[in-house]
Amino acid sequence: MKSTFPTVLRELLRTHQAFLSYAASHVQKLDLTLPQFDIIITLGNTDGLPYKILGEKTLITKGTLTGVISRLEDKGLVQRDASKTDGRSQIIRLTETGYALFERTFPEHLLFINRLFDNYSPEDVINLEAALKQLHEAVISLRSEEQEKIVDDTEA
């Protein structure tokens, strides 16, 4: 059996790692970590987001999110407000300083990142996205199969 594991999936890990370190190199100049800047970006052009949504958009789990938000709060870039409609929920929004940082740095960051695709044809972009989605869906599909197995075992 020819194993696709070492070749294709290693390449996924390598590409991911390379991209993160590329993106981080830009963000570090702002004295922010990548997750921190990701929060800033995600909050930009919104009127604040509940904790939960913020975690879903940035792919940061809630236990981690508390720490990241706290550090941004310490830096004065973000603030927590209690939700008016749900007593459990916190709304995170950019402070004035945070919004100013967003406006000042986001366009340049976008250029920096999009430079990766300078030599891409439109088809290349489509292919990449399609290939990633195909793998993503395969993972999700198998993961839910595994989940069902566990449920079956519990019931049995």
Residues that bind a second copy (CB under 8 A): 1, 3-5, 7-9, 11-19, 21-22, 25, 59, 110, 113-120, 124-125, 127-129, 131-136, 138-140, 142-143, 146
Nearest-angstrom CA–CA distance, 11 and 137: 18
Taking each helix axis from N to C end, the angle separating 34-43 and 62-74, rounded to the nearest 10 degrees, works out to 80
Which of 51, 94, 101, 105 contacts DNA by CB under 7 A? 51
> Residue 48 interacts with DNA (CB under 7 A)?
no
> Residue 63 interacts with DNA (CB under 7 A)?
yes
**CB of residue 108 vs DNA: minimum separation in angstroms?**
20
Determine contact, residues 102/41, Cβ cutoff 8 Å: yes
- Look-up of token digits 């236990």: 63
Which of 23, 57, 79, 80 contacts DNA by CB under 7 A? 80
Indicate the residue among 96 and 137 with the shorter CB distance to a second copy.
137
Determine contact, residues 66/51, Cβ cutoff 8 Å: no
Indicate the residue among 99 and 112 with the shorter CB distance to a second copy.
112
**Radius of gyration of the chain, Cα coordinates, nearest whole angstrom:** 19
